[in-house]
Amino acid sequence: MIKVGIIGATGYAGGELVRLLLGHKEAEIKWYGSRSYVDQKYAKVYQNMFQLVDDRCLDDNMEAMAKQVDVIFTATPQGLCASLVNDDILNKVKVIDLSADFRIKDAGVYEAWYGIEHKAKQYLDEAVYGLCEINREAVKKARLVANPGCYPTCSILSVYPMLKEGLIDPSTVIIDAKSGTSGAGRGAKVDNLFCEVNENIKAYGVATHRHTPEIEQELSLAAGEPVTISFTPHLVPMQRGILVTAYASLKKEVTWEEVKAVYDRYYDKEQFVRVLDQDVCPQTRWVEGSNYVDVGFKIDPRTKRIVMMGAMDNLVKGAAGQAVQNMNLVFGLDEAEGLRMAPLFP
């Protein structure tokens, strides 16, 4: 059994990690780390775990944790993992970081967008960007995995095949995205109160959202040239889910069949990316609670543009599910272990 430690086990992503790992045949959680709930029973924090988890929450001592587990998940705010990780820890355990600390390869870009100093620059080149469908082989050999952000995961997987194949103009990419409120975390914020969110939709982080450079970095690698995007996220009154609608100008006239063949070439063998049928648009309700990403597209011959769409659960494929998928790859397990659940509906 793989022994697991989680730092940030009482946040939404941490709670989802616990839920998924309880159903994992090859993993056992040994350390429920939570700075806010030290010595409190985990099932008191999340009552859905009553009689499923008897453990108490421990602190976030990564050094001590590394002596007891095989892999550490850090589901924490930006800056914490970078402040804790060191050679001694990485020589003992695998680390899968769900924050942004090791996603962006340029420390200056990270510091400019996140407003904090990067405290572990020496690991930026080593860390593997854990988007399994694109970096699978590198993930298998990694000791430090940077689990991608939720918006970037959905955005990149929706656009990647078209950019990689050179079918769209990289300078024209616009990404409009919506997320449920769990994407903002479990901390108390006025903007996330029921009365603020219910019966409302709003754009936020316009032209400044911190996931922008992460998306640009990975799309630039796909295109083989620098890509600058316009990215606008929106908050919608639902608990889970991300919907991405991306737009770009086509470089040449293409048919639906030709574009479908491109998406199938990249995703036909991918268990967790489902390319939808013609004229079927992705919806968050059909992926909720699962590790699936549904992608689709629509060619607009009038404007010579293509609309690329994706939907996924921000807490599963956008966070905990993808982290478990990365863990499976790192330890040579079946990539889908612990992740085979069908989407929930209703």
Average pLDDT of the segment spanning 258-281: 98
Q: What is the predicted pLDDT for the residue at 185?
A: 87
pLDDT tens-digit map of 229-268: 999 999 999 999 999 999 999 999 999 999 999 999 999 9
Q: Where residue 217 falls among pLDDT bands split at 50, 70, 90?
A: very high
Do 165 and 83 lie in one domain? The reply is no
Considering the domain boundaries, does residue 204 fall inside one?
Answer: yes
What is the amino acid identity at position 143?
Answer: R
Do 109 and 156 lie in one domain? The reply is no
Residue 162 tokens, joined:
């078209």
pLDDT tens-digit map of 78-94: 999 999 999 999 999 99
66: Cα within 13 Å, side-chain hemisphere: 18
CATH of the domain at 166: 3.30.360.10
Do 119 and 169 lie in one domain? The reply is no
Catalytic residue among 57, 150, 195, 281: 150
Out of 75-89, 187-201, 213-227, 307-321, which region has the weakest mean confidence (pLDDT)?
187-201
Q: Is 150 a catalytic residue?
A: yes
Q: What is the predicted pLDDT for the residue at 46?
A: 97
pLDDT at 188 over 80: no
| Mean confidence (pLDDT) of the chain | 97
The predicted model scores a pTM of: 0.97
Encode 147-184: b = buried (16+ Cβ within 10 Å), e = exposed: bbbbbbbbbbbbbbbbbbbebbebeebebbbbbbbbbe
Considering the domain boundaries, does residue 136 fall inside one?
Answer: no
Compute CA 63 distance to the chain's CA centroid, rounded to the nearest angstrom: 26
Average pLDDT of the segment spanning 149-168: 98
Domain boundaries, position 89: 2-126
**Domains in the chain: how many in total?**
2
Do 182 and 113 lie in one domain? The reply is no
Q: What is the predicted pLDDT for the residue at 187?
A: 82
Do 35 and 73 lie in one domain? The reply is yes
